[in-house]
Amino acid sequence: MTAAEREPLAEALRARIGRDGPVAVEEYMRLTVAHYYAGADPLGARGDFITAPEISQVFGELIGLWCAATWQEIGAPDPVALVELGPGRGTLMADALRAAATVPAFRRAIRVHLVETSPALRERQRIALAGLDAAWHETLSSVPQGRFLLVANEFFDALPVRQLVRVGTAWRERKVGIDRADGSLRFVVEDGGTDATPEIPPALRGAPDGSILERSPDATALATEIGGRIAAQDGAALIVDYGHGRTAPGETLQAMRRHRRHDVLAEPGEADLTAHVDFAALADSAGRSGARVWGPISQGAFLTRLGIEARAARLIAAAKPDQAFLIRSGCRRLIDPAEMGSLFQVISMTRPDRSAPDGFETAR
C-alpha cells in the first residue's frame, strides 16, 4: 500500500465522527493500528521501533531452547504446532528454530504457524524463513487443534484498549472527537450514556475524579482462547511484553514514530500505537479458562534464569571485537533494569498439572 493510498484515514475518521459522533478510543486504536500495519515494515533502526529479537539473536535462541524444554515436559508430542503471534520480521522464529535444531527430535516435530495480518510483514517473514514449510493465519482460531507451543513477543501491547474515565460518581467511556476551533482530533468524555462502573474492579471504583482505567477486551478474549486450548489439548504459552502486573488506573496509550514519542491523535495510522499490557487481567482470563498461569516475572530475571549471560559469553569468545561489543551491549539492554529488563514482563500458561516451566519458580 502506497503512502498516497494510506493518507485518507484521517479524513475518513473526521467524516465518520462528523456523521456519527465521537468514536471510542478502542475503535480509534483498532482502526489506526490496522491502517499502520497495512503499510510498510515499521521495525528496525529506519522504522518506528525495535523489538528484542532485533536487538540480539540470543533472545530468540533462548526462546527456542525454552520451547524445546517445554515440549519435553508435555510429553514430546510429534507433531507439535509452534505458533507465534505477531512474528514481526520473522527474526525471533528464525533464531528459535536454529536453537531448536540442537534437539533434533523437537525440530523434526515442529509445524510452524504464524499469526500475522500485515502483508508487508508476511513478506519479510517469508524471506527470513525461506525454505521453511510454514502456515500463515489471520487469527489464532484458524490454527489447527492439537498440542501446541505459543510465543507472543510485543503482540498484546498493540491490541486496542478502552479508556474509562471517572467523572463524578460514574465511569464514562473516553472517545475521540473533533475540536470545532481547528478541526483537529481531540479526546472527549460525553455526558450521560452508559455508566461503566459495573466493569470497574470494586477496589478501583473509588479512584479520584479524572482517573483513567484501560481495559482490553481483545486481549482478555485472546488470553481466554489460549488458556482454554491449553487446558483442553495441552501445550504452553509464553507471553513477553511491556506492562504491569497489577490492574490499576493510569493512562499508558502512546504513539511512537521514528523512535520518538508522537502525539496519539496526530496523523492517525502513521505511527505505532500501543498501550501497556495488564498482565493481571490476562492471567485472570487464562486462569478462568482452565490454564495455570506462571508469573509475571521481569524479562531480566527470566532471561538470566535461562542463561543469557553464559550464552553471550560463548558468542563473545568467538567474535571479533566489534561483534563482541554488539553482543554484550545487546544482551545488557535486554536484562538491565534501566533498559528493558524491568519494564518488560513475562508470563507462561500451562495445563494445571504441569510443573513450573523453565525460568519460572512460582505460580499465581
In DSSP terms, 134 is beta-bridged to 112
What is the rounded distance in angstroms from the CA atom of residue 7 to the CA atom of residue 273? 17
Whats the size of the chain, residue-wise? 364
pLDDT tens for residues 66-82?
999 999 999 999 999 99
Number of domains in the chain: 1
Residue 156 falls inside a structural domain: yes
For residues 174 and 212, the answer to whether their CB atoms sit within 8 Å is yes
Helix ranges (H only) for the chain are: 3-6, 8-20, 25-37, 52-55, 57-73, 91-100, 104-109, 119-128, 217-233, 279-288, 299-306, 308-317, 321-335
Going by C-alpha positions, the residue among 295, 300, 285, 288 that lies closest to residue 362 is 295
Residue 322 falls inside a structural domain: no
Residue 170 falls inside a structural domain: no
pLDDT tens for residues 10-19?
999 999 999 9
For residues 187 and 176, the answer to whether their CB atoms sit within 8 Å is yes
Residue 317 falls inside a structural domain: no
Residue 111 falls inside a structural domain: yes
Q: What is the pTM of this model?
A: 0.94
Residue 192 falls inside a structural domain: no
Nearby residues of 211 by Cβ (< 8 Å), 6 or more positions away = 165, 166, 249
**Domain range for residue 154?**
1-161+209-307+343-354
pLDDT of residue 4: 44
Going by C-alpha positions, the residue among 222, 225, 201 that lies closest to residue 213 is 201
Residue with cell 520518538: 260
- In the chain, which residues have pLDDT < 50? 1-6, 363-364
Residue 234 falls inside a structural domain: yes
Which CATH number goes with the domain that contains 240? 3.40.50.150
- Collapse the DSSP code of 1 into the 3-class scheme (helix H, G, I; strand E, B; otherwise coil) and give the result: coil
pLDDT of residue 38: 84
Residue 9 falls inside a structural domain: yes
